[in-house]
Structures are given as structure tokens and as C-alpha cells.
């Protein structure tokens, strides 16, 4: 059985599933279905990253060590993986954090405004 794909290899448009078939009894369901499989569009390297992340119980240090990359690189790859799966990532960019802390320190914004900025609002 082949790996499911979510985009057309020729033009990149979203693919639709036209038929499902039961492997046991052969029942077929024909229609136009959006491929809801969040894993369908993942590359081989993204699948490997996901396996590594799960195997290490989400320990980014271990993920980085296994992949032979730095922690920031591992975090960036995990963020990209989540976003490719349509997951809104709660990731704080170091530059944003630094600028918000500086703005608080200089009295330019309130703590409440800083919290809103950190939430991305």
C-alpha cells in the first residue's frame, strides 16, 4: 500500500479522495472527500522528526542530539512540522521576547500589553 499524499505532484493543488474500499469485505464508498490525514503531506524527514520527537517523549535536547543539530534548529524543525500539520504553535521568538522585555523595562508598555503581544494578539 502506498503512502497517502495531499497535494498534486504536478501542480501542487489539493488532492481529493474519490474512493474508499474496505480491505476485508470489499465495500466501496465513492464520492469526493478531502484528505483529512494530517500526516499525508509530510516528507520523509518530517515523519522521521515526528518519530524521534515521540520516541524521546518530546525532549528537545534529545531530539537535537539524535538528529545531530542544535536545540534551536530542532525547535525550528518541530515548529515547521507542527505548522505543516495545521497546528498553531505556541512558539516564542527570542527577538520578540527580547523586544517585549525591553519595552516593559523602558516603561513603553504595560505588563498586560506585553502578555497580549506574547500571545500574538
> What is the domain partition of the chain in residue ranges?
1-41, 44-84, 93-121
Q: What is the pLDDT of residue 2?
A: 62
Residue 40: predicted pLDDT: 67
Instruction: Output the CA torsion sign for 26, 32, 33, 34.
Output: positive
pLDDT score of 94? 66
User: From start to end of 25-117, where are the E strands?
Assistant: 28-34
Q: How far apart are alpha carbons 2 and 75 in whole angstroms?
A: 30
> What pLDDT sits at residue 51?
93
Question: Shortest CA distance to 60 belongs to which of 82, 40, 37, 85?
Answer: 82
Tens digits of pLDDT across the chain (121 residues): 566 677 788 998 877 778 889 999 999 999 877 666 667 678 888 889 999 999 999 999 999 999 999 998 998 899 888 888 877 776 566 667 778 888 888 889 888 888 887 776 4
Amino acid at each position: 500500500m502506498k503512502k497517502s499524499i495531499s497535494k498534486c505532484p504536478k501542480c501542487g493543488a489539493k488532492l481529493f479522495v474519490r474512493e474508499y474500499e474496505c480491505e476485508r469485505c470489499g465495500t466501496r464508498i465513492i464520492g469526493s472527500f478531502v484528505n483529512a490525514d494530517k500526516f499525508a503531506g509530510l516528507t520523509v524527514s518530517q515523519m522521521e522528526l515526528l518519530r524521534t520527537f515521540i520516541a524521546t517523549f518530546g525532549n528537545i535536547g534529545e531530539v537535537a542530539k539524535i538528529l545531530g543539530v542544535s536545540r534551536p534548529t530542532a525547535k525550528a524543525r518541530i515548529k515547521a512540522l507542527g505548522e505543516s500539520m495545521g497546528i498553531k504553535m505556541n512558539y516564542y521568538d527570542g527577538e520578540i521576547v527580547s523586544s517585549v522585555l525591553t519595552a516593559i523595562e523602558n516603561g513603553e508598555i504595560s505588563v498586560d500589553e506585553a502578555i497580549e503581544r506574547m500571545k500574538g494578539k
